[in-house]
Structure 1
């Protein structure tokens, strides 16, 4: 397959990372926060997670895409670089609205921990 288009324009908001992906109090984000914090990501260093998510898209191919009249959803599975030096396998979901060329982060989903990551 191919890589995420327009990655140089990617939108990964601070609020999405701090208030969702790294929030242990968010109803649907708390399990993700525990997972990510277990690999060394921290609220105060939220840019580290942002950079890791962009690096994930830069180094892994799109594994699935779904086009609708609203735009295209892209799923990318692969290893995520972490501060702990381990590389868990995650799925990062992006969305590019129709008539736009800006990928926006939707979510990150833990997939599995590779044998070298335990």
Structure 2
């Protein structure tokens, strides 16, 4: 997982599209100073969650979508959707992570 995807997008408050995601992750104890915590939490999220493949276009790359809890540094476990693109060499690359609201989640 590329650190710049985490530091310059998911954990960057000033990013035009990632700023709201950064507020979400920072509120759960993640930090730009410790991007590997988020990388490790996302790897754990994938291992604990059943992914479902999606092809958004007929000849496009396969994407794997995982929805479930993410173990955060502050001890909470918010629900997120992570999307990974499977490259030609079979390696999955993180596309995005989206916070989810669940009825059973703490407010």
Q: What is the TM-score with the length of structure 2 in the denominator?
A: 0.90
Q: Deviations over 1:15-34 (max 9, x none)?
A: 00000000000000000000
CA contact (8 A) 2:53 2:62 kept: no
Q: What is the TM-score with the length of structure 1 in the denominator?
A: 0.82
Give the corresponding residue for 1:94.
84
Distance 1:39 1:114 in 2: 18
Give the corresponding residue for 1:53.
42
Q: Which structure ranks higher in relative contact order (CA pairs < 8 Å, sequence separation ≥ 6)?
A: 1
Aligned CA RMSD, in angstroms, stands at: 1.6
Distance 2:32 2:103 in 1: 25
Q: SS at 1:32's partner residue?
A: helix
Q: Report how far residue 100 of structure 1 moved.
A: 2.0
Flag structure 2 segments of 5+ consecutive residues without an equivalent. none
Q: Report how far residue 115 of structure 1 moved.
A: 4.1
Q: Deviations over 1:46-77 (max 9, x none)?
A: 10000000110011001452264232011100
